[in-house]
Amino acid sequence: MGLQIGFAPYPKGTVTASAKVNPSNYGMVYMVKNMQVDEQTQPPDGRMTMVRLVKNASGSAITPGTPVKFKTGGLGYLIAGETGAESADGFSDPHVTTIANGEWFLMAISGPTKAQKAAGTITLGDQLSTVASGQVQKITAATPTVLQLSLMCGKAEETSSAAANTLIKIDVRNLI
């Protein structure tokens, strides 16, 4: 595993079967254009997102922008669902429809991406933490608890409505 500057083997929004992934790319880290941006509706802003090529080994499908964890006792590229009781290792690609068990995808580990949000309004600049629903929420306490700080995953880059299960633009802290 290492860092490749330049093109990832697959564009964002792509999932692929194991048979199509070169084993030398397993767990490799790449820099890609901003994972917040959908080039069809917004111009690229020049920022880069650090991503890792990983495999969904959770046993079920993963939705776009979901916080994910490395599988306990697994290799450094096998992903399981994130429960909220522990910090996220990254966020699933927000440009996919769904990621089936066994499929490979790009996991955002640092920089701009989109994440599933829990119910409640989030304001631009709010510090975010993961919650058990596989989403993010703002840290609301004036003095955050140790648990909230340990689950911190980034900050909001837009203001959202109170609706749950929507994607919000965030800047992920370095989760390497």
Question: How far is residue 115's CA from residue 111's CA, in Å, rounded to a whole number?
Answer: 12
Residue 101 and residue 61 in contact, taking contact as beta carbons nearer than 8 Å? yes
How much is the pTM?
A: 0.89
Q: State the CATH number of the domain containing residue 135.
A: 2.40.300.10
pLDDT value at residue 147? 72
Task: Give the per-residue pLDDT at 84.
Answer: 65
CA dist 111 → 11, 21, 173 (Å): 17, 25, 7
Question: Closest Cα to residue 8, out of 53, 43, 64?
Answer: 53
**Strand, helix or coil for residue 79:** strand
Sign, CA dihedral 101-150-74-172, equals positive
Q: How many domains does the chain have?
A: 1
User: What residues contact residue 170 under an 8 Å CB cut-off, 6+ apart?
Assistant: 36, 112, 113, 114, 115, 128, 136, 153, 154, 155, 156, 157
Q: What is the pLDDT of residue 10?
A: 84
Do strands 48-56 and 78-81 pair parallel, antiparallel, or not at all (unpaired)? parallel
Supply the pLDDT for residue 87. Answer: 81
- β-strands 104-117, 90-92: how paired? antiparallel
Would you state the pLDDT for residue 71?
87
- Say what the pLDDT of residue 41 is: 64
The domain in which residue 78 lies consists of 3-172
Q: Which residues of the chain have pLDDT under 70?
A: 1-6, 39-44, 83-85, 142-143, 174-176
> What pLDDT sits at residue 143?
66
